[in-house]
Amino acid sequence: METHIPMGTDSLIRPSDILGLVDVQPTFMPGGELPVSEGDLVVPVINGLLASAFAHAFATQDWHPAGHLSFASAHPGKQPYETVELPYGTQMLWPDHALQGSPNAAIHPALDLRRVEVIIRKGFDPALDSYSAFFENDRTTATGLDGWLRQRGFRRIFLTGLATDFCVAWSAEDAVRLGYEVVLIEDACRAIALPTAPGRTTLDDMRTRLTGLGVRFVRSDGLRA
């Protein structure tokens, strides 16, 4: 069951708040190589938030070379959504997606990018995947976003994008551990929701983990400038 934590006066956007657009790319939308169900529906919600509530935003962009080690096609005999052990840990295998320079790897063309001040590309190392906006999947190689946010004085991050239970969730978890306040805008995200155990999915696991870390879950209509 979905739960939304009321933010009260915290629904007011502060000057030190920023909106994060995680991997809002056609490759993760219906018709793309790794489609997230209803992934395209996040675009108008995010545009509404940029128009009405947030003066500042950043975006991330999955940006893989051909033959990336996270692709099932790079592991003979393996299928998408199986796992393998790599030097940095367990890796989910994916269909080939977000190929550098391809139209589907671009930031979605309908997004209003006028308030997006920096775009962080991730996953470009052929031997290392990257979900989080802050660290590659070895959890030590930084993307540089943390330093940029700190120098700009942002302290609270509102996350949107794709997919809720992978790149958005990993970004939220890392942001909390780096000392940021984190809010996840649920109707501006969509999940893959792979099964993990009887009656549970990666989305259920994500919600339990992030709630325990203090991440707040809200809807876009509860936010205002």
Tell me if residue 189 is catalytic.
Answer: no
Active-site choice (23, 40, 62, 174): 23
Whether 204 is a known active-site residue: answer no
β-strand 83-86 against 89-92: which pairing, if any?
A: antiparallel
167 carries an active-site annotation: yes
Among 62, 96, 167, 174, the active-site one is 167
Structure tokens at 18: 């920023």
Give CA–CA dist 198/215, Å, rounded.
25
Q: How far apart are the first and last CA of the chain?
A: 29
Q: Which residues contact 19 (CB under 8 A, 6 or more apart)?
A: 46, 49, 50, 53, 54, 56, 57, 58, 115, 158, 160
Backbone φ and ψ of 194, nearest 5°: -70, 145
Please name the residue that has the structure tokens 């501006």.
188
Please list the residues that pair with 182 across neighbouring strands.
157
Strand partners, 189: 161
Q: Are strands 156-162 and 181-190 parallel, antiparallel or unpaired?
A: parallel
Catalytic residue (one of 40, 122, 129, 174) = 122
User: From the centroid of its chain, how far is CA 219?
Assistant: 16
Q: Do residues 22 and 162 make contact, with C-beta atoms less than 8 angstroms apart?
A: yes
Decide: helix, strand or coil at residue 197: strand
Q: Which residues are catalytic?
A: 23, 122, 167
